[in-house]
Amino acid sequence: MTTPPTLRTAPLRVLAGAAFLMATSAIGPGFLTQTAVFTQQLGASFGFAILLSVLFDLGAQLNIWRVLVVSGRRAQDVANLVVPGLGHVLAVLVVLGGLAFNVGNVAGAGLGLNVMFGLDVRTGAVLSAALAVALFLVKEAGKAMDRFAVALGFVMVALSAYVAIASAPPLGEAVLRSVMPERIAPLSIITIVGGTVGGYITFAGAHRLLDAGLSGPAALRDVTNSATSAIVIASVMRVVLFLGALGVVAHGLALDPQNPPASVFRLAAGEAGYRIFGVVMWAAAITSVVGSAYTSVSFLRGLLPRAEERWSWLVIGFIVLSTAVFVTVGRPVRVLIVVGALNGLILPLSLGTMLVASRRRSVVGDYRHPIALTIGGALVTVAMAWLSVQTLATELPALLR
C-alpha cells in the first residue's frame, strides 16, 4: 500500500471520483427499472422503501468506508483478518453478485440505446460494452473512470429532475406515505436496498480511495466527506426518479411492462421525455458497468497471482463475460429486478464483517470506531438479514420462475 497522503494533499478529483463511482453504481439501470415497477405496484408507499434505503446507505457506507480506509486494506483482506478464509468467501460472493448485477447493467445500456436510436437491445449492449472496455485501455484508466463517472452523474440528475417536474407528482402524498405507508412489501425493500448498497456497491468508493493511495486515520475527514457526498448524490437521484414515476402513476397512466422506466419518461414529457430517458438509462447503465467491473475485480486483486499487475485486463474480461451472458439469456427487465434482490443477500455478511473488524486492533490499530456508527450498522445488518430470509422464503422464488 502506498504512503497515505495528508488531508491537504488528497486530490479533489479522487474524492469526487470515489463519490460518483459509488453513487452512479447505486443509481444504475436496475434502480430506474425497480423504481418504475414498484411505484406502479405500491404508489406513494414506495417512498418508504426509498427512505429506508437512504438510512441503510448511511449505516452501511460510513461504516465500511471508514474501516477500510483506516486499515489501509481492501475488504477481502480485512475479512481474512477477522476469520481466516472469510475474505475468499466474501470475494466469491461479491464477484458472482457483481457479475449478475453487471448482466443487468449491460441490459440497461442496451435498453438505453434502443430508446435513443432504435437499435436492437443486444446490439446496443455490445456497443456499450465496447465503450466501457475502451475506457480501461487508456494509460491512466483510474483518472478516466473518475471523470467519466462525474460527468455522466451530473447528466443523469439534471435530466431526471426535468422529467420529475414535468410529471407533476403529488408531493404531499409522497411525503406522508414515505413515513406512513399504506402497504409494505419486503421484496421492494430488499431489492431497492440491494440495488443501492448491496454486493459490490458498498465497496466501490472505498476501494477507489485505497487504490488512489488514500488511507490511515489522517484521511478520515476526507473519507467521511466523500462517503457523505456519495450518499447525497444517490439519494437525490432516487427521490427524483421516484417522484417522476409517482407523477405518472398518480395520473392513472399505465406503464409499458416491456420497458417500465421508459414509459415513465415518455408519459411525463412526451417524445422529448422518451429520448431523455434513453440518455439517462444509458448513462446509468454504462457507469454501473464500469463501477461493477472495477469493484468486482478489486476483490480478486491480492487473492489471485499477478492480478494486481493485470487488473485492467481482468476488468475488460469481466465486462466481456457479462455481455456474453446477457446476449445469451436476454430478459432485461426481469434481470434488473432479480439482481438487486440477489445483491441484497450479500450485505448482512459484508457489513457484519466490517463491524467486527472495527473492534480489532490487528485491523484498525488505535482507531476507535464511533459507537453510533456501530449501532446503526448493526441495525442495518440485522434488518437486511431478516428481509433476506423473508425474500428467499417467499417472493424471490416466484420472481425467478
Q: pLDDT tens digits, residue range 13-44?
A: 788 888 888 888 888 777 788 888 899 999 99
pLDDT surpasses 90 at 306: no
Confidence of residue 200 (pLDDT cuts 50, 70, 90): confident
For the chain, how many structural domains are there in total? 1
Predicted confidence (pLDDT) per residue in 46-80, tens digit: 999 888 888 888 888 999 999 999 999 999 999 99
Q: What's the CA gap between 343 and 191, in Å, rounded?
A: 8
Determine, yes or no, domain membership for 4: no
**Is 334 inside a domain boundary?**
yes
- Residue 389: pLDDT band (50, 70, 90) is confident
Looking at residue 68, its pLDDT comes to 96
Residues β-bridged to residue 304: 301
**pLDDT tens digits for range 209-225:** 998 888 999 899 999 99
Q: For 152-181, how does the pLDDT look when each residue is reduced to its tens digit (9 = 90+)?
A: 888 888 988 998 999 999 999 999 999 999
Residue 395's pLDDT band, with cuts at 50, 70 and 90, is low
C-alpha grid cell, residue 282: 444509458
Domain-located, residue 5: no
Q: How many other CB atoms are found less than 10 A from the CB of residue 4?
A: 18
| Site of grid cell 413515513 | 179
Residue 22: inside a domain: yes
Higher pLDDT, 334 or 257: 257
Look up residue 91 and give its three cell numbers.
Answer: 470475494
More confident residue, 309 or 364: 364
Q: Pick from 108, 26, 113: which is nearest to 326 by CA?
A: 108
pLDDT at 338 over 90: no
pLDDT of residue 197: 74
Most distant CA pair in the chain: distance in Å? 58
Residue 1 lies in a domain: no
pLDDT band at 238 (very low <50, low <70, confident <90, very high): confident
How far is the C-alpha of 99 from the C-alpha of 101, rounded, in Å?
Answer: 5
Contact between 31 and 238 under an 8 Å Cβ cutoff? The reply is: yes
Q: Is 29 part of a structural domain of the chain?
A: yes
pLDDT digits 0-9 by tens, 247-287? 998 988 888 887 788 888 889 988 888 899 899 989 989 99
Q: Report whether pLDDT(320) > 50.
A: yes
| Mean of pLDDT values over 372-396 | 79
Q: Evaluate whether residue 356 is within a structural domain.
A: yes
Q: Is the dihedral of CA 174, 226, 147, 347 positive or negative?
A: negative
pLDDT of residue 343: 61
Find all residues with CB under 8 Å of 212, minimum gap 6, and list them: 11, 14, 18, 142
What CATH number is associated with residue 142? 1.20.1740.10
pLDDT of residue 10: 55
Q: What is the predicted pLDDT for the residue at 391?
A: 64
| pLDDT at site 361 | 92
pTM of the model: 0.84
**pLDDT beyond 70 at 7:** no
Range of the domain at 200: 12-400
Assess if residue 2 is contained within a domain: no
Angle of helix 141-166 relative to helix 260-298, nearest 10 degrees, comes to 160
Question: How far, in Å, CA of 309 to CA of 316, rounded?
Answer: 14
pLDDT band at 6, cuts 50/70/90? very low
Angstrom distances, CA of residue 293 to CA of 41, 56, 87, 122, 173? 32, 23, 18, 19, 39
Residue 368: per-residue pLDDT: 93
pLDDT at residue 8 in the model: 41
Mean pLDDT of the chain: 85
Dihedral of alpha carbons 200, 202, 203, 205, sign: positive
Question: Which of 35-44, 134-143, 354-363 has maximum average pLDDT?
Answer: 354-363
